[in-house]
Every structure is written in structure tokens, then in C-alpha cells.
């Protein structure tokens, strides 16, 4: 007889990749996130027997096998999908690079090019990690902070504001790269500086930390 499939240990929601916020029917603002870290996290979690819902913005990556993948474009779409998946989740990892702003108005058709200067009014988009952090109860949340200066101080503020249990600090050099250098801070602990490594290896360490935190709350 074939072996019986293992029951998933935990349901982990992972957000990944960039989002896009449209000015008109073809123009948008975004960022250079590749989604490689979120993809690596999903693959690492699945390999360790977890049920994974990967909510991913526009990226050029194949869906991780055995993960439930929800493709989205805008921050609002990512938030709605994350809320739905979070309802029965044990944990969430917010690795997506969500646009911080969206245009105040979106034109239904392509806007003609103007000869003079054009002013675009922007308004903040919802903070997905903070929004779900307010309803997390006994779930474990891990946030990401992408910073190019004063990283630890800013990451510590985000850890508190998002009500996360841990945060991963990384920099712009990690974008689109196959390897990454990160620092990890668990609520109440000291900073951990991890050696540079492949995103697959870093993802495995993050999932290991998440498993430890989940085990702690079940004791």
C-alpha cells in the first residue's frame, strides 16, 4: 500500500512579490520585488509538511508545488485574499513588497501625454501586516522590513506597530538576487545576524523559527 499522506502540521499564509497601483488603464506604480523570497518560503514550508497559501503579486515564477496560490495585482486585492486565508491560519509571513501608496484617482482609459508637468495625488494603501496583526489572537505573524538606512531602529518600530511576533530585516541588495543577507528579531529577544546565503536556505531558517514559535504557544 502507498504511504498515507501526512496531515499538514500548520496552515501558513505567505504574502509575496510586488503589488501594482494603476494611474490609468496601462500605467502603474510598483517596485522591483521578484517574489523569490516568498516563493522560497512557500517551498520550504511545504517541504516540512505544512499547508501553505501563497498570495502573490505579479511575478515571473512558477507556482510552488502543493501550495495553494492566489494571484493578485493590487494591494487591496492582496489584503482581501490575505484576510480570507487568515481566517483558519495558524501563522502568516508577510514577505510581499506592497506599494505604500496608490493614486487618488484611476483613469478608466489611457491618459494622453501632457507637455507640461503632471501632478499625481497619492494616498496610503492599507498595511496588510498591521491590519491582520490587530486580529491575530493566538496566531504567529512574521513581518519583513526592507530598509536602506537605520534598519534596526525602523524594523523594531514596525515589529511593534504591526503587532508581529518577529521581523526579518533586509536591504535593497536582496531584490532580484539569488542570495540574501538578513537579520532576524524575535519579540523579546536580541537581534540575530545570519550569514549570507541562498534565499532557499534563509527561507528554511525562517520557517524553523516560525515552527519554534508555534510550538511555544502550544506548550
The pLDDT of residue 1 is 47
Instruction: Give the residue with greater pLDDT, 6 vs 133.
Output: 133
Q: What is the pLDDT of residue 217?
A: 85
From first CA to last CA, the distance across the chain in angstroms is 35
% the chain with pLDDT above 70:
96
- pLDDT given at position 42: 98
Tell me whether strands 140-146 and 122-124 are parallel, antiparallel or unpaired.
unpaired
Identify whether 115 is part of a domain: no
Range of the domain at 90: 11-102+121-218
DSSP tag of 20: -
Query: Per-residue pLDDT for 219 more than 90?
Result: no
Cα separation, 156 vs 132, in Å, equals: 18
pLDDT computed for residue 176 by the predictor: 75
Tell me the three-class secondary structure of 45-65, residue by residue. HHHCCCEEEEEECCCCCCCCC
* pLDDT on residue 175: 80
User: Is 174 within a domain?
Assistant: yes
110 in a domain, yes or no?
no
Tell me if 79 is assigned to some domain. Answer: yes
| Among 46, 63, 54, residue whose Cα is nearest residue 6 | 46
Q: Is the pLDDT of residue 3 over 50?
A: no
Is 1 inside any structural domain?
Answer: no
Active site (catalytic) residues: 31
**Is there a domain that residue 113 lies in?**
no
CATH code at 210? 3.40.50.10300
Section 71-78 average pLDDT: 98
Q: Is residue 107 part of a domain?
A: no
Answer yes or no: is 116 within a domain: no
pLDDT at 4: 43
Question: Which pLDDT does position 7 carry in this prediction?
Answer: 54
Amino acid at each position: 500500500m502507498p504511504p498515507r499522506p501526512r496531515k499538514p502540521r500548520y496552515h501558513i499564509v505567505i504574502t509575496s512579490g510586488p503589488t501594482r497601483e494603476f494611474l490609468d488603464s496601462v500605467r502603474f506604480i510598483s517596485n522591483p520585488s521578484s517574489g523569490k523570497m516568498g516563493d522560497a518560503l512557500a517551498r520550504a514550508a511545504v517541504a516540512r509538511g505544512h499547508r501553505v497559501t501563497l498570495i502573490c503579486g505579479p511575478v515571473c515564477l512558477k507556482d510552488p508545488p502543493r501550495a495553494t496560490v492566489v494571484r493578485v495585482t493590487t494591494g487591496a486585492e492582496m489584503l482581501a485574499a490575505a484576510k480570507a486565508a487568515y481566517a483558519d491560519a495558524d501563522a502568516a509571513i508577510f514577505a510581499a513588497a506592497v506599494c505604500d501608496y496608490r493614486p487618488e484617482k484611476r483613469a478608466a482609459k489611457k491618459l494622453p501625454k501632457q507637455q507640461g508637468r503632471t501632478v499625481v495625488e497619492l494616498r496610503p494603501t492599507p498595511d496588510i501586516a498591521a491590519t491582520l496583526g490587530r486580529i491575530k489572537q493566538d496566531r504567529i505573524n512574521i513581518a519583513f522590513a526592507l530598509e536602506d538606512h537605520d534598519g534596526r531602529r525602523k524594523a523594531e518600530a514596525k515589529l511593534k506597530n504591526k503587532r508581529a511576533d518577529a521581523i526579518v530585516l533586509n536591504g535593497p541588495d536582496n531584490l532580484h538576487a539569488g542570495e540574501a543577507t538578513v537579520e532576524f528579531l524575535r519579540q523579546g529577544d536580541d537581534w540575530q545576524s545570519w550569514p549570507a546565503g541562498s534565499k532557499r536556505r534563509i527561507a528554511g531558517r525562517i520557517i524553523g523559527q516560525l515552527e519554534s514559535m508555534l510550538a511555544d504557544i502550544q506548550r
